[in-house]
C-alpha cells in the first residue's frame, strides 16, 4: 500500500508539471490589453510588463499546485504519512526532462542570441527554463501543501504522538496479561491442593 501511494505521488508530480506547463504556454500566448500596462510606468514589451505577466501566471500555477499537491500527498486513511517527497521527485524529474529538451531546442534555434535575459528567464514559451517563476511556483505550492498535510497528520495523532500512544497501549496490555496470568496460576494451585488426597498432603511440622 505504501509503495502504491509513493508511485501515485511520483506520477502525480510528473502530471502536475506537464499540465501546468501546457496551461502556462496557453496563457503566455494571450496578449493582455495595453491599457493594463501604462507606458508611463512599464511600457509595452518592457521587462516590467513581462515580469508582471509572468508573476500573474505563476500565482495561478501556485494555487493549482497547492490544491493538487494537498490532495495528492495527503492520505485518505488515518495514520498514513504524507508523500510530499515523492511528489517533489516527480516534479523535479519532469522539470529536468523539459530542461534538457529546452537546451536541445535552444541549441538548434538561430534566434537564441537575439533573446533578452528577461525573456529567457520569465517567458513560459522560451526554452530552456520555460518560465523560471512557474517552476518556483509549482515547487512552493507542493511544499506548502506538504506542510499542511503534515500538520493534519500530526493533529490526528500521527508521528511521535501516535507512537507514544501505541507504546502506552502495549504496556497496558502487557501488564494486564501478566496480572491475568498470575491470577490464573494462583487459582490453579489452590484448586490442586484442595483436590489432593489426605495422604499426599504435607505433614505438619
Q: The domain containing residue 39 runs over which residues?
A: 2-156
Task: Say yes or no: 101 and 183 in one domain.
Answer: no
Write down the number of H helices and E strands in the chain: 6, 0
Task: Say yes or no: 66 and 120 in one domain.
Answer: yes
Q: What are the φ and ψ backbone dihedral angles of 59, each rounded to 5 degrees?
A: -65, -40
Q: Whose grid coordinates read 535552444? A: 106
DSSP 156: T
Q: What is the number of domains present in the chain? A: 2
Please say which residue of 122, 140, 156 terminates a domain.
Answer: 156
Task: Say yes or no: 128 and 28 in one domain.
Answer: yes
Task: Say yes or no: 145 and 185 in one domain.
Answer: no
Residue 35 located in a structural domain? yes
Cα distance between residue 125 and residue 123, in whole Å: 5
The model carries a pTM of 0.69
Task: Say yes or no: 146 and 177 in one domain.
Answer: no
Task: Say yes or no: 171 and 147 in one domain.
Answer: no
Residue 205 located in a structural domain? no
Task: Say yes or no: 33 and 98 in one domain.
Answer: yes
Task: Say yes or no: 144 and 119 in one domain.
Answer: yes
Among candidates 122, 127, 58, which has minimal Cα distance to 95? 127
Look at the alpha carbons of 77, 144, 51, 117 in this order and tell me if their dihedral is positive or negative: negative
pLDDT in tens, the chain (205 residues): 567 888 999 999 999 999 999 999 998 877 655 555 554 444 456 777 788 888 999 999 999 999 999 999 887 665 678 899 999 999 999 999 999 998 888 887 766 566 778 888 888 888 888 889 999 999 999 999 999 988 888 877 665 544 545 555 666 777 766 666 555 555 455 554 455 555 554 554 4
Amino acid at each position: 500500500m505504501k509503495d502504491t501511494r509513493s508511485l501515485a505521488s511520483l506520477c502525480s508530480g510528473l502530471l502536475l508539471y506537464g499540465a501546468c506547463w501546457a496551461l502556462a504556454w496557453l496563457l503566455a500566448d494571450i496578449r493582455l490589453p495595453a491599457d493594463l500596462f501604462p507606458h508611463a510606468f512599464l511600457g509595452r514589451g518592457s521587462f516590467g510588463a513581462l515580469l508582471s505577466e509572468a508573476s500573474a501566471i505563476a500565482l495561478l500555477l501556485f494555487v493549482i499546485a497547492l490544491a493538487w499537491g494537498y490532495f495528492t500527498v495527503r492520505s485518505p486513511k488515518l495514520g498514513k504519512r504524507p508523500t510530499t517527497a515523492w511528489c517533489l521527485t516527480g516534479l523535479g524529474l519532469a522539470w529536468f526532462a523539459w530542461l534538457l529538451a529546452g537546451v536541445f531546442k535552444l541549441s538548434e534555434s538561430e534566434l537564441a542570441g537575439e533573446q533578452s535575459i528577461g525573456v529567457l528567464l520569465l517567458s513560459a514559451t522560451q526554452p530552456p527554463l520555460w518560465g523560471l517563476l512557474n517552476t518556483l511556483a509549482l515547487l512552493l505550492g507542493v511544499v506548502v501543501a506538504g506542510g499542511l498535510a503534515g500538520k493534519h497528520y500530526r493533529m490526528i495523532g500521527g508521528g511521535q504522538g501516535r507512537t507514544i500512544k501505541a507504546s502506552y497501549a502495549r504496556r497496558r496490555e502487557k501488564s494486564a496479561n501478566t496480572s491475568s496470568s498470575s491470577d490464573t496460576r494462583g487459582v490453579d494451585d489452590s484448586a490442586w491442593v484442595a483436590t489432593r488426597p489426605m495422604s499426599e498432603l504435607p505433614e505438619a511440622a
